[in-house]
Amino acid sequence: MDVASCSGILPKTKLGGFNLRNSDHAFSTSCSYTRSPTSVSCHSSKDSQVENLTSQPLSLCSSPSNMGKDVLGLSKQCLHKRNTVVKTFCSAGVCTYDNGIAIESHSLVNVEEKVGVLLLNLGGPETLNDVQPFLFNLFADPDIIRLPRLFRFLQRPLAKLISVLRAPKSKEGYAAIGGGSPLRKITDEQAHALKVALESKNISTNVYVGMRYWYPFTEEAIRQIKRDRITRLVVLPLYPQFSISTTGSSIRVLNSLFRKDAYLSRLPVAVIKSWYQREGYIKSMADLIAKELETFSQPAEVMIFFSAHGVPVSYVEDAGDPYKDQMEECIYLIMQELKARGIDNKHTLAYQSRVGPVQWLKPYTDEVLVELGQNGVKSLLAVPVSFVSEHIETLEEIDMEYKHLALESGIENWGRVPALGCTSSFITDLADAVIEALPSATAMSTSLSTSKVVDHDPVRDFIKLFFGSILAFLLLFSPRMISVFRNYLS
Ligand SMILES: C=CC1=C(C)c2cc3[nH]c(cc4nc(cc5[nH]c(cc1n2)c(C)c5CCC(=O)O)C(CCC(=O)O)=C4C)c(C)c3C=C
Ligand SMILES: [Fe+2]
């Protein structure tokens, strides 16, 4: 468990890596972080799951939460006495320490630490010409098409084939929403709003956007972080729930970039793996749902229909993806919040956007909509729940395809909750999540000298490529494979 501690009084304030000069106070504190199972845990949390890039495979690490707030809205954490020194967990520039009395710094001037926040997102094609190469990047990701190790060499040829086959259908979808994905614009707006929210809490940051499959790519964001000489980084995926296919994939990219680079491998980093259970997020979702229910003539009669992006069943059952459990818990928490406000509507959860020939999480959104219509449900409020911006699957799949299907199936009154976007209560909560995560940032332990060096044997590579190509050709053009690829077209 990661624990930050502060001790001593020095002329310059150094809080767990935050070097603060405080012009109003002549006193200051030095903090250090230790990784020790025997240290007192100051930051167990059920709010957001924070971890450092050091741990692989991803293991849960605690995050600071429920912190006392001082007058500036900044937070301080627990106190732990050892001998006569009070060990304190410092968060985002405020520290309490003791040589008998607790002292807080109340104004932060000339913060020497350069804090960065990296927002991770999926990315989307900005024009119709971008659609096929975007799809190629997506399907070339081994966290999206999970091939057995022996067949990994087929990843890129397969991605090429599937992206070419799927592009016409995807293009139709993007054309219907104006010719491209709105993701980049919305994510940039969220980044700006987050920076402003952090500034209002006296935390000066650079906020970066790193997309997994389109511009600005994660690699570009990391290059900029290096150029800016950021000294502490919080990684915040814009997916409330963790999935191997989304947050997991982006973290894998970060891990490989950080492992290869001397500066990055020493940069203290905290990754917020998931944050679906944060009070601010749950309340913001409940606000949007309550507001939208009011647009119906009989709000109490409306079925609340949560629609989450699906993942293949094998992710959950074989690979241990926590996505389904987190999604169900998230829906439970939102419904509890609504109940506390006297809203006790019926609700259900289904999964949308399946692609390809394998089984995805059930029930499927389209099938449930038809059933509900047939069973006499007349009013339905769709709530997209796995993503916090509008995108093709809200604007086209839900607003067009599913709405049409629902009305055709007998549902008469249809509504849809907008994505959170830049809703201020939500952005404020993200800012709090960043502040809470800052102290737990630690550097990647693997140094360049200890990292594994991969040997390339040209003869072995050639043999692999030669036989691989023959095998790929046979596989791709077998009748079974042709029927599999048809599934990517619809
Ligand atoms: C939590 C969100 C998401 C999960 C989980 C997820 C898994 C997943 N997605 C695909 C395949 C496609 N996804 C596509 C677009 C897309 N996916 C998400 C989110 C999640 N994906 C978003 C936000 C978007 C839209 C981006 C935009 O441009 O607006 C697409 C492209 C669109 C299309 O052709 O349908 C594909 C394909 C898989 C296979 C997968 C899990 C394995
Ligand atoms: Fe997707």
In the DSSP assignment, the letter for residue 301 is G
Q: Name the band, by pLDDT with cuts 50, 70 and 90, for residue 472.
A: low
Q: Of 18-27, 32-41, 183-192, give the range with the top mean pLDDT.
A: 183-192
More confident residue, 480 or 199: 199
pLDDT on residue 49: 82
Ligand closest to CA 138:
1
CA of 215 relative to ligand 1 center, distance in Å: 16
The ligand placed nearest to the CA atom of residue 309 is: 1
Residue 484: its pLDDT value, please? 56
Residue 63 predicted with pLDDT over 70: no
Best residue among 128, 134, 249, 353 to mutate for probing ligand 1's pocket (most ligand atoms within 8 Å of CB) is: 353
Tell how strand 102-103 and strand 97-98 pair up. Answer: antiparallel
Q: Cα(225) to centroid of ligand 1, in Å? A: 27
Mean pLDDT rounded to a whole number for the chain: 79
Q: Whose CA is nearest to atom 39 of ligand 1?
A: 144
Task: Starting from the CA of residue 356, give the closest ligand.
Answer: 1
Query: Ligand 2 mean position to 278 CA, how many Å?
Result: 23
**Amino acid identity of 30?**
S
Tokens of 204: 């000066």
Q: d(Cα 244, Cα 3) in Å, to the nearest integer?
A: 27
Pick from 104-113, 168-177, 403-412: least confident: 104-113
Radius of gyration from C-alpha coordinates of the chain? 25
| pLDDT, greater one: 446 or 158 | 158
Q: Which atom of ligand 1 is nearest to the CA of 243?
A: 5
Ligand nearest to the CA of 386: 1
Residue 470, pLDDT above cutoff 70: no
Q: pLDDT tens digit string along 333-363?
A: 999 999 999 999 999 999 999 998 899 999 9
Atom 35 (ligand 1): residue with closest C-alpha? 170
Task: Count the Cβ atoms, other than its own, within 10 Å of residue 325.
Answer: 12
Is any atom of ligand 1 closer than 6 Å to the C-beta of 312? yes
Query: Which has the minimum average pLDDT: 164-178, 208-222, 452-466?
Result: 452-466
Instruction: Give me ligand 1 centre to Cα 158, in Å.
Output: 17
Residue pLDDT, tens place only, 194-246: 999 999 999 999 999 999 999 999 999 999 999 999 999 999 999 999 999 99
Q: pLDDT: is 468 or 51 the higher one?
A: 51
Please name which ligand lies nearest the alpha carbon of 177. Answer: 1
Q: How far is CA 458 from the centre of its chain?
A: 39
User: What beta strand segments (E) does 25-142 contain?
Assistant: 29-35, 49-51, 68-69, 75-82, 85-90, 97-98, 102-103, 109-111, 115-121
**CB distance 385 to ligand 1 below 6 Å:** no
The pLDDT value given to residue 452? 42
Q: Which residue among 126, 128, 138, 211 has the greatest number of ligand 1 atoms within 8 angstroms of its CB, and so is best to mutate?
A: 138
Is pLDDT at 22 greater than 50 in this prediction?
Answer: no
pLDDT exceeds cutoff 80 at 156: yes
Question: What does the pLDDT read at residue 48?
Answer: 78
What pLDDT does 111 receive? 55
pLDDT exceeds cutoff 60 at 398 = yes
Higher per-residue pLDDT: 197 or 26: 197
Confidence check: pLDDT of 462 > 90? no
If one counts every other C-beta atom within 10 angstroms of the C-beta of residue 337, the result is 19
Higher local confidence (pLDDT), 74 or 116: 116
Highest mean pLDDT among 41-55, 63-77, 292-306: 292-306
Find, among 392, 363, 380, 370, the residue nearest to 417 by Cα: 380
**Measured from the CA of 174, which atom of ligand 1 is nearest?**
28
pLDDT band for 45, please (50, 70, 90 cuts). Answer: very low
For residues 287 and 425, the answer to whether their CB atoms sit within 8 Å is yes
Integer Cα distance of 61 and 242 in angstroms: 14
Instruction: Among 392, 395, 489, name the best residue to mutate to test ligand 1's pocket (greatest count of ligand atoms within 8 A of Cβ).
Output: 392
CA dist 391 and 369 (Å) reads: 21
d(CA 87, CA 118) in angstroms, rounded, equals 30
pLDDT at res. 54: 54
Task: Supply the pLDDT for residue 69.
Answer: 29
